[in-house]
Amino acid sequence: MKKLLLSAFIAAGLAGRLCAASAEDSKIFTPFFDMTLSEAAFLPSEGNIFSGGNINTQVGLLSKITQKDQLFALYNFNYSGAGFAPQDSKQFTDRSMAHGFNLEYRRSVTDRIRVRPGVGFNRGYSRTGANEAWKNGLYNMNSAGGQLAADYIFDEGKNGYVTLQYLLRTVTFPNYTDLLREFQDPANRASVNGGLQDQTMGQVSLRPAWNKFFGGVTYTVQNYKNQKVVAASGVYGDTKQKDTDTMLDFGFHHRLWIFEMYPMVSYTMHESNQNFMKYKFLGDTAPEFAASYYNFKEMNLSVPVDLNITSKWAIGGAFSIQRRAYDKRYARNADNDFTTEKQVNTMTTLTGSIRKRINEVAMVRLFGSLIVANSNNKFEKYMPYNYTGNSFGLAYQLSY
Amino acid sequence: MGKIMKKLILILLALFLVKSPAFAAIDWESKGMQIAGEIIANPAGFFYDFQQDLEATTPLPPGKSFGIQTSLFPTTIPMTYTNASLKVRLHGEGRIAPGVPQLDLIGGYWDMLAAKMATKDSETVDSAKFGGYYAGAIMSTSVSPRVRTFWGYKRSVLKAKLDFKAGQEPEFLGTKVNSFDTGFKDDFFIAGIETPKGINKLWSIQLNYGLNTQTFSSKVSWYGKYFELGLNIFPEGVLVFHPVWNFHLNF
């Protein structure tokens, strides 16, 4: 679920980047290259040291066919390694990898209006700490679909524009199997492997940007093709699962004297018609029903600041917080019983870093972070909810 | 200023290490067991990471027709991978027609000296063969006077075979190991970018991605007239960081 939302937001973010890449007047072909790489060691308060990294590579080519027509092709490789993660998202040792291909046609209708139809394909792999082969990942995912975007440029001098975009994706999970159903009814393969996570995803976004300020509203709908909603009786009913996300976000990237700031804030409302049956242990004959278990409101705030001491060196500091409050999910105590409090998770990260600009296109950063994760959910048999951790590592970025 | 900043980095790093409340809790023994287990689970993958260290996957500098390279660390020392690589330029950028990229052929071979010595002298090893090769092509194109991007393909092959003499089999994690015969081969896609760091000094970062095995690495390199210093990162490998030192000559 989290992964899919992430891919949706990446799709929205990618659209922004696609829009940002612009052709140089004198050239027919303009390449686009961005590679970021980070690797860090993680020391959690519970458990042993581990390492993990992130790689994001975007390579693209913008072709100017005529003065009004352009074609933009982009390949995106993303690897997200082991690391600390917000509660209810993934295990520390889970990793994922994705290949994305986007092809976009741009047509300038007038000096101020541009339309951008496009197609996109994505292949995602997942891997747990068991180190299974990438091709066998339970949450491996393929998606394909199209987009239609329109830009209205209102201030050419300060790069001010508004983008309205509609995006549609068909998503399949070829390896997904419902482990609980497999355990309960091993003979019934159809209900276990019948593409339970397969879905269509639609997304509408309206995003204005001006003078390095940006923001917007993004509405995402996930319609499950086969997954049914579990009823209070404990069996799946006839209603298919449907999830929606409404996200508002705002940020900017500005310099003030030696300070370079790029804060970002977002607020997400997640709603799902799916409910939950809590089995206290395997074989529990009296499971507890929890309605609207997955609905939540989430706030993300990150405030990174770099102090440019010289043209080459900068000292950086960053504060980020993620707070998720569930609408109806009650927190559990250490014995796996629901309490009377609604579950609230927070994860706060403080980062200190030193950045060296190698030249106009490349930089390296050494960083150290302190992570504090808190939750009123005290049932931590399978996933940590309350922990502290340190991480330190290095990151490279090269973009053209 | 540079010296002060470097000192500051060291002090901060030292502080992170000393101040970390979790640092004392590191269980190095279990970490060692985990690493050993990962090597046993996929020995070819472990040895192939070192092959990637010796593979010359950056383009020839503009104006050079061919180049030779041998990797010194961590390949020859301490892994005893004796190795040689060759790059040959098929055509320079813009020579045939304006805008046509430079095209280089690349390839190399390695053989593990320790495996040969073990077969000859050891009382436990019956036969051993560790070696590999790679071949491919790199296309590079300038996107500005100071930036080149490069794209490539390589085919990498590794063979690792070890037989122990009967009655002399070692035990590893409680299991008797008779022999292992493993290998690795894959077709890789390469994408990278290169930019100057000083006079005759270049800096590059690249991604190598194996299409069949999903093996991937990121290579960060600094290179001049004779030497290349690198930091190869294998996020899914047993040893994530490989500091690299290579010797090369380009003509």
User: What are the structural domain ranges in chain B?
Assistant: 43-250
Taking phi first (over 0 means left), then psi (-120 to 50 degrees means alpha), and beta for anything else, what does residue B78 get?
Answer: alpha
DSSP structure class, residue B51:
H
To the nearest whole angstrom, how far is the Cα of B26 from the nearest Cα of chain A? 6
What confidence score (pLDDT) does residue B21 get? Answer: 47
Percentage with pLDDT > 70 across chain B: 89
B18 touches chain A (CB under 8 A): no
B 220-239: CB under 8 A from A? 220, 233, 235-236
Nearest 5°: the CA angle A223, A226, A231 is: 90
- Do A55 and B216 lie within an 8 Å CB cutoff? yes
- Mean pLDDT along residues A310-335: 96
Between A27 and B147, residue with greater pLDDT: B147
CATH topology of domain A2-399: Porin (2.40.160)
A 68-97: CB under 8 A from B? 77, 79, 81, 95, 97
pTM: 0.88
- Mean pLDDT along residues A9-24: 47
Do A321 and A347 form a contact (C-beta atoms < 8 A)?
A: yes
To the nearest whole angstrom, how far is the Cα of A28 from the nearest Cα of chain B? 11
Name which of A48, A77, A361 is nearest B195 (Cβ-Cβ). A361
Is B1's pLDDT higher than 50? no
A366 touches chain B (CB under 8 A): yes
- Mean pLDDT along residues B87-112: 93
What confidence score (pLDDT) does residue A13 get? Answer: 44
Q: Which chain B residues are closer than 8 Å to A53 by Cβ?
A: 233, 235, 240
Percentage with pLDDT > 70 across chain A: 89
What confidence score (pLDDT) does residue A191 get? Answer: 55
A136 touches chain B (CB under 8 A): no
- Do B233 and A39 lie within an 8 Å CB cutoff? yes
What confidence score (pLDDT) does residue A255 get? Answer: 92
B 53-92: CB under 8 A from A? none
For the range A69-73, what are the long-range contacts, defined as Cβ-Cβ under 8 Å and sequence gap of 24 or more? Answer: A69/A105, A69/A106, A69/A107, A69/A108, A70/A23, A70/A105, A70/A106, A71/A103, A71/A104, A71/A105, A71/A106, A72/A18, A72/A21, A72/A102, A72/A103, A72/A104, A72/A106, A73/A101, A73/A102, A73/A103, A73/A104
What does the alpha-carbon distance between residue A195 and residue A157 come to, in Å, rounded to a whole number? Answer: 50
What confidence score (pLDDT) does residue A2 get? Answer: 41
| Model confidence band, residue B175 (pLDDT cutoffs 50, 70, 90) | confident
- Mean pLDDT along residues A327-336: 95
What confidence score (pLDDT) does residue B161 get? Answer: 87
What confidence score (pLDDT) does residue A189 get? Answer: 58
- Confirm or reject CATH 2.120.10 for domain B43-250, answering yes or no: no
- Above 0.90 for ipTM, yes or no? no
> If you search the block for the tokens 């409050």, which residue do you land on?
A325
Name which of B30, B147, B209 is nearest A361 (Cβ-Cβ). B147
Strands B201-210 and B179-198: antiparallel
- Do B21 and A388 lie within an 8 Å CB cutoff? yes
Is A4's pLDDT higher than 60? no
A134 touches chain B (CB under 8 A): yes
